[in-house]
Structure 1
Amino acid sequence: MAKNFVIALGREFCSGGKEIGKMISERLGVHYYDGDLLREKSKELGIDEGIFEMFDEQPTRSFLYSIMMDPYAIDNAVNSGKVIEAQRRVIESAAAEGSCVIVGRRADKILEDKEDINLVSVFIGADIEDRIVHYMENNESKEAKDAKSVRRLIERKDRERASYYNYLGDGKWGRAGNYTMCFSTSKISKEKICDTICNYIKTLD
């Protein structure tokens, strides 16, 4: 019997990674998890929502950005292992329910030693100019009307994701050697990327 598979999909901000993840899940008929759906799963597991929010792809935010949350509360949670443990429980629970696509949240690093699943780690990027256009076309905020502000927003989001992913020192966000495959939506269409990943899944034992 073939193992279940998990496609762990990392992505640059506004690169189209979520859209690709949804396309893959629909094509293969498997569960799709992003931040919102993983948050719901954390509630099912009885994990305090505040703890989940702390590892919402920015667990070191208090150290690097000092915004939105009490840095002492985050420091204490991280140091006590609560955030890391909560993150692991949510991701492993999602993977245990069957083949799925998980967007972000270091799913690839959490699941990399699981011998009972086929892990496929994917990274999606795009040229910054294309990401600026994507954001401005899909958002109506004041920031979306100013290309320079949007660029700063995208660069900040990427820094946060990199800091989150690199926090434990067991991987390097966006480095090709860290993933099964990497794509740029500026070079290849989302549909072709989806085709490539789905075809690869068919080759797994």
Structure 2
Amino acid sequence: MEKRIITISREFGSGGRFIGEEVAKKLGISYYDKDIIGQIAEQSGFSPEYIRENAELSPKKGLFAYAFSGRDITGKSVEDMVYEAQRNVILKIAEKESCVIIGRNADFILKDREDVLNVFIHGDMPEKVQRICKLYNVAEADAAKMITETDKRRRTNYNFYTDQKWGMAKNYTLSLNSSQLGYERCGEIIMECVK
């Protein structure tokens, strides 16, 4: 079956977002990343700023605090409500059109579909640090800290909501090292696998 939906999970600084955007352009399909935030906010009733900070990342407190955060009488936390809204938006997008979806546990949310190619982009720390230094105009030590903290929060969110391990190769169709392959080759490989 031809793949029509590409999900891209990525380490911070690996260029996964850039690769995904380029693949979508070259294939002439929709690209969903930060623009999905408005839809999640609308469905959940939370502000776009809150969604931007919390829909893909766990709170900075860690997994234990995440699991036991405030819950309402139904047992749902605010994070659970945001995740459910995010899940519904991603399912609707997948029904509607061919696309590339960046992050947001889309690989897990769409795991029962046969027309999905799940990709994980990772990279070597020196290259990721250099990319973050350039993108955010920060020192190397700050870039390394940003990478570590962001990936920890992504990992915590993913592991909590999927019961899988973030970055584990068996959860994805492809796992690509952008430092070794380069962004362009990663994109080419993804497009070859979609056919």
Question: Could you tell me which residue of structure 2 aligns to residue 33 of structure 1?
Answer: 32
CA distance in 1, matches of 2:86, 2:92: 10
Note the 1:160-175 alignment, pairs <5 A.
160-175=153-168
Distance in 1 (alpha carbons) for counterparts of 2:176 and 2:103 = 15
**What are structure 1's unaligned runs of at least 5 residues?**
none
Aligned twin of 1:130? 127
Q: Is the 2:44–2:81 contact (alpha carbons within 8 Å) kept by the matching residues of 1?
A: no
Give CA deviations for 1:105-156 in whole Å, capped at 9, x if unaligned.
0001011113xx511110001111111111111223xxx12x1222111101
Which of 190, 193, 201 is equivalent to 2:186? Answer: 193
Identity of aligned residues (%): 30
- Of 80-89 and 8-17, more deviation after overlay is shown by 80-89
Listed as ranges, the matches of 1:1-205 within 5 Å are: 5-34=4-33, 36-43=34-41, 46-50=43-47, 52-53=51-52, 55-64=54-63, 75-76=70-71, 79-80=75-76, 81-114=80-113, 117-140=114-137, 144-145=138-139, 147-202=140-195
Q: 1:138 to 1:54 in 2, by over 3 A?
A: closer
Pair 1:48–1:5, CA change in 2 (3 A): same
Report runs of 4+ in structure 1 exceeding 3 Å deviation. 50-55, 59-66
Change (3 A) 1:113 1:119: same
User: Normalised by the size of structure 2, how large is the TM-score?
Assistant: 0.85
- Superposed CA RMSD in Å reads 2.6
Q: Deviations over 1:138-190 (max 9, x none)?
A: 223xxx12x12221111011101100110135211111111100111110011
Q: Which amino acid is 1:158 matched to?
A: D
How far did 1:53 drift? 4.6
Give the Cα separation in 1 of the matches to 2:144 and 2:62: 23
CA contact (8 A) 2:14 2:122 kept: yes
